[in-house]
Amino acid sequence: MRKKITVVGAGNVGANCAVRIADKELADVVLVDVVEGVPQGKALDLLQSGPVQGYDVNLVGANDYAPTADSDIAIITAGFPRKPGMSRDDLLLANYDVVKTATENVAKYSPNCIIIVVTNPLDVMTQTALWVSKFPKNRVVGMAGVLDSARFRTFIAQALDVSVENVTAVVMGGHGDTMVPLVRLCNVSGIPLTELMDQATIDAIVNRTANGGAEIVKYLKTGSAYYAPSAAAVEMAESILKDKKKVLPCAAYLEGEYGINGLYVGVPVKLGAAGIEKIYEVKLTDEESAKLHKSAAAVQELVDVLKAKM
Ligand code: APR
């Protein structure tokens, strides 16, 4: 039997998730959005791409959640994108209501699914999905680190004129300006980055990575990135559906790991059929650890804002 993925939000990120899922023939897709006609139209358009692209995947659009029943995975992208000058954090209260409603419905119709959250501010929205779904923590994961490290890898590959496939990079922490690209753990086919680049070049790339989302918002003016975010979310979905057990940086609920408790923060995890199957606790230097805690504190601040409103 085919797998089934619900994508909540048929906007830029959601629709591109559907495209990538279909192109990979990963699962049938149900696109859900509040705007009447948009998920239906996009799903039908994508369905009609099947004969050309060569995929046998069913795609339907809906404004309610009944057709999503018994999904294996739900990718939540619904919400408002970041506008120029707006931080991810400004989105907090507006997107809280959206993610809450989406999670309630996803949990009701697909009580056994794994939820991948994409909506920003990412770490807090993932925490919202955990609270609302009441799922075990391994079944609620946030997409941030895969995207942030993809940006980091892209810039490194560009600067060294090597294949992106050879570049391994880890970005930890919250998905925000305080994210922590871990240069020490970065390598090109095993060669440490520090042996390939001078410190000034590394610093410039780290800075560009941390501002990678804002750079695109500045160009697009009316929205935020969606090609790389959808690619990242679908890589996570694929690792789960195929039980590939990829080790990827994702937002995971920490309960003591890295000395952080009761908070979603980006860390390396193993993603398999059970969702987050393992959280890797990498030994950090004092400086790295301080940066991670600073980033976690920024996430905690937003969680506190939400808790005060609830
Ligand atoms: N239920 C379902 N869909 C909703 C809801 C809701 N309650 N509220 C809004 N939406 C839909 C909108 O109608 C829109 O189609 O979510 C979609 C969001 O799409 P875009 O505006 O194109 O935004 P997008 O670029 O896809 O970003 C979505 O992902 O990367 C993050 O920061 C980004 O939080 C943002 C999210």
Q: How far apart are CA 5 and CA 18, in angstroms?
A: 9
Range of the domain at 26: 4-142
What CATH number is given to the structural domain containing 232? 3.90.110.10
Are residue 75 and residue 159 in the same domain, yes or no? no
Last residue of a domain, one of 110, 142, 174: 142
Are residue 196 and residue 116 in the same domain, yes or no? no
Average pLDDT over every residue of 24-52: 98
Average pLDDT over every residue of 241-263: 98
Long-range contacts of 194-197 (CB under 8 A, 24+ apart): 196/160, 197/156, 197/159, 197/160
Q: Please give the pLDDT value at position 88.
A: 60
Q: Is 212 in the pocket of ligand 1 (CB under 6 A)?
A: no
Average pLDDT over every residue of 138-148: 97
- Cis status of the peptide bond prior to 67, with omega within 30 of 0: no
Q: Please give the pLDDT value at position 89.
A: 64
Q: Please give the pLDDT value at position 114.
A: 98
Q: Residue 87 pLDDT > 70, yes or no?
A: no
Of all protein residues, the one whose alpha carbon is nearest to atom 20 of ligand 1 is 11
Are residue 279 and residue 163 in the same domain, yes or no? yes
User: What pTM value is reported for the model?
Assistant: 0.97
The per-residue pLDDT for range 256-274, each reduced to its tens digit, is 999 999 999 999 999 999 9
Q: Please give the pLDDT value at position 66.
A: 98
Q: Residue 113 pLDDT > 80, yes or no?
A: yes
Domain tally, the chain: 2
Of all protein residues, the one whose alpha carbon is nearest to atom 7 of ligand 1 is 98
CB contact at 8 A, 65 and 108: yes
Are residue 291 and residue 166 in the same domain, yes or no? yes
Q: Please give the pLDDT value at position 3.
A: 98
Q: Residue 33 pLDDT > 80, yes or no?
A: yes
Average pLDDT over every residue of 61-78: 98
> Is the sign of the CA dihedral 237, 279, 122, 192 positive or negative?
negative
Q: Which of 90, 92, 98 to mutate to test the pocket of ligand 1 (most atoms within 8 A of CB)?
A: 98
Q: Is 268 in the pocket of ligand 1 (CB under 6 A)?
A: no
Q: Which of 224, 230, 236 to mutate to test the pocket of ligand 1 (most atoms within 8 A of CB)?
A: 224
Q: Is 17 in the pocket of ligand 1 (CB under 6 A)?
A: no
Instruction: Tell how far the Cα of 40 is from the centroid of ligand 1, in angstroms.
Output: 16
Instruction: Tell how far the Cα of 78 is from the centroid of ligand 1, in angstroms.
Output: 3
Average pLDDT over every residue of 122-139: 97
Are residue 98 and residue 80 in the same domain, yes or no? yes
Q: Is 290 in the pocket of ligand 1 (CB under 6 A)?
A: no
Average pLDDT over every residue of 174-203: 94
Nearest CA among 163, 153, 91 for reference residue 120: 91
> What is the average pLDDT score of the chain?
95
Q: Please give the pLDDT value at position 75.
A: 99
Q: How far apart are CA 173 and CA 180, in angstroms?
A: 6
Last residue of a domain, one of 142, 158, 193: 142
Q: Please give the pLDDT value at position 94.
A: 87
Phi first, then psi, for residue 15 (nearest 5°) are -65, -40
What CATH number is given to the structural domain containing 78? 3.40.50.720
How many C-beta neighbours within 10 Å does residue 58 have?
A: 14
Are residue 157 and residue 271 in the same domain, yes or no? yes
Q: Please give the pLDDT value at position 81.
A: 72
Q: Is 10 in the pocket of ligand 1 (CB under 6 A)?
A: yes
Q: Is 118 in the pocket of ligand 1 (CB under 6 A)?
A: yes
* Atom number, ligand 1, closest to the C-alpha of residue 119: 34
Of all protein residues, the one whose alpha carbon is nearest to atom 25 of ligand 1 is 12
Q: Is 86 in the pocket of ligand 1 (CB under 6 A)?
A: no
- B/e letters for 110-138, b = 16+ CB within 10 Å, e = fewer, are beebbbbbbbbbbbbbbbbbbbbbebeeb
Last residue of a domain, one of 142, 169, 200: 142
Are residue 162 and residue 305 in the same domain, yes or no? yes
Catalytic residues: 175
